[in-house]
Amino acid sequence: MSMIGELSYFLGLQVNQLKTGIFISQIKYVKELLKKFTMEECKPISTPMKSGCKLSKDDKSSSVDQTIYRLIIRSLLYLTTTRPDILQVVCMVAWFQENPKETHVTAVK
């Protein structure tokens, strides 16, 4: 690695090497995810999930495409590399990959 220069971007991770330490982030990856899932105009929130949100397998809302839902979950699981604060919520919504409903997609977004 030293022959090609200082590491700055690797597998979706941005690496900043400073005298005070090495800092890793996924800002570019997050922006790509928001664009991919058409959420560029979304507003940030301070908590990983809306408080009081109850999810159930027996939800009566309409079913959604499993492939898209699984793609979102997989992307979010990779994001937990630098965001351990969202790990519990991502695992919670991952439980519904078998038969995702509209409410599950809303919770993921």
Residue 49 pLDDT > 80: no
Q: Which two tokens stand for residue 84?
A: 């351990």
pLDDT band for 2, please (50, 70, 90 cuts).
low
The answer to whether the beta carbons of residues 86 and 76 sit under 8 Å apart is yes
| In contact, 96 and 57? CB cutoff 8 Å | yes
Average pLDDT over residues 90-102: 87
Confidence band of 3 (pLDDT split at 50, 70, 90): low
What is d(CA 48, CA 10) in angstroms, rounded to the nearest whole number? 25
pTM exceeds cut of 0.85: no
Domain residues for 92? 2-108
CB 49 within 8 A of CB 88: no
**What percent of the chain lies above the pLDDT cut of 90?**
6
Q: What is the mean pLDDT of the chain?
A: 83
Under 8 Å between Cβ of 58 and 103 = no
Q: Which residue is it, tokens 């900043």?
A: 16
